[in-house]
Structure 1
């Protein structure tokens, strides 16, 4: 799985309404580069996640649990490495007012 996870997240967000979308929307809405968009479309097509007709794409009607597991994995974020050295004493004082 060698794709940009943030771009995949935006792609999933765009298609989540279940309708047909023009591929150009990925560029106009999220400012993704064409090579990123084409690699996303190819990845999603190869894994059976989307249907494509011309320039229009949407989620496949036949998504299985395996497909949903892959979609969930693509949407997960990774904990930033900067948080590994985070000390409890550096917390803000906002928790006192809760």
Structure 2
């Protein structure tokens, strides 16, 4: 089971990556993650998750090219992205209206 169970867990990981990028002097990734955290300060959980994922995907591209990031950090980043993408698919899944019994009631009785 993933340790990233909520949107806040993913945001916390963004904060961790931001601090790591600051500590090692990676200004491009730091700036990108700061913008990501500022952009996903909305009231909609799905929007927050979507913005966090966009930032993490872009940060991953930069981090893969930088030898200062360990394989463990990259692996954990991949886990966060995978978990977030699953949550987005689940959130955007169409509602099965045909399964709602109260809607079928109206069809039976004109």
Q: Given the two structures, how large is their TM-score scaled by the length of structure 2? A: 0.28
Whose helix fraction is larger, Structure 1's or Structure 2's? 2
Q: Which one has a bigger Cα radius of gyration?
A: 2
Greater share of residues in strand: 1
Give the alignment's TM-score, normalised by structure 1.
0.30
Q: Which has the higher contact order (CA 8 A, sep 6+)?
A: 1
